[in-house]
Structure 1
């Protein structure tokens, strides 16, 4: 998908719920509101934004008397297309979509088999990874991407911080950069961030039994409301977002199984510290 903002998705879900509760079809709502059925459908599916005036019409049709709910939905409509700080950068659309979703998410559960997750990377490690993955990018092209990757991490220290659960395969701790200090500093960063109360880091050991992460890494972005969670699958030159609730549930279950297969928190940090010592 080209990700609509979470605000638009939440607004669409709430408006659809209100319409279904009122037992009205799209055509019936269209007749009563003066909006076309296709426009209402696109608002509900979040494929287009909604003007506050349109939402006010729909709330009138649905006879919404809860002032707090009405105010909330109007705020969602107003902020649905709000620009984020990352949109001042020339980013690939799929990356901009990720940051938009990440900014509105309440939780991120990520499994990385070969790399340190982006939300936990140092600038030097990010520079090495981006350079290795892009293969042809110049230092001038890499620099703003590193800046954005580091800026994303403010989500972990904001007043209402993002809850992060990261499972990192031991192989990712053993990668080598051209400068040994890059990996040493990166492992220290994991130890530093692990003290945050809303951050959990676990290591999946090399000798773990076969597990559902064998197909590659994935990230589950949670939004605290049924039907809004999203899964991100990243590949070398493309990314895929999964939104179907049944499919998202499968990845959430896979993550919980990986959690059970990974080393407990304290043992994970001990292993990270030992890898850091070996890289010195």
Structure 2
């Protein structure tokens, strides 16, 4: 190696640093830092690859980015993907690809005992905590009940330096395709959320919506779901435009239904108030008649 370097650069390489001594000295200094004996020198270690979890649609959601200095800690709040979901599976991955399946899984665990609730309501706080030894502590806690589960794993995941470099190169190579794939999945997740919320409101306002408009809205939801089922032949933009148009139509109808509910409520309150006033006037008239009758009886006496 030294001869090759000399031939390439035309001069003798510097041999003043002994590699073995450098490694030993670095280890000794780091031991002093961890033990508190060395305070004027700090050796920084970093995460070799990004760390995160798999989320809806198989997307890799990063919590700690590559080359972040350790120790470090990061939390993010997630929620359930289905109504009445009582448990979530936390899949921990490391890598640089946009989809979890293209990265290396480090471990998994379940958080159970989540109270049944509509999707998106429970708050699940996921925390990644990497200590000075590179051990990753991953926990998931339901904010509502306080229930918590966790796992401890090695941040390197048993990968060699070559493995890490290959994963980084693969991420760079597939960057454009991965980005498009992720964008489509995230748009599908958004559209499914719109459909879920809209169909819930349709049932809530069913009595206030004209039957023909209700049918149109139901038909629009079916067409949008059909578009999602053919996502491979659709572009992100076409799905987005169809979803936005459906949402505009539904919001307009729900606004009309809400105003009708408000008007009916005000009419009901007004009618109730009028009835109460009429009853009060009648009572007052009856009281006056009784008073006149008593006065006449007194005069006769």
User: Which structure has the greater CA radius of gyration?
Assistant: 2
Q: Higher relative contact order at CA 8 Å, sep ≥6: structure 1 or structure 2? A: 1
Question: TM-score of the superposition, structure 1-length normalised?
Answer: 0.22
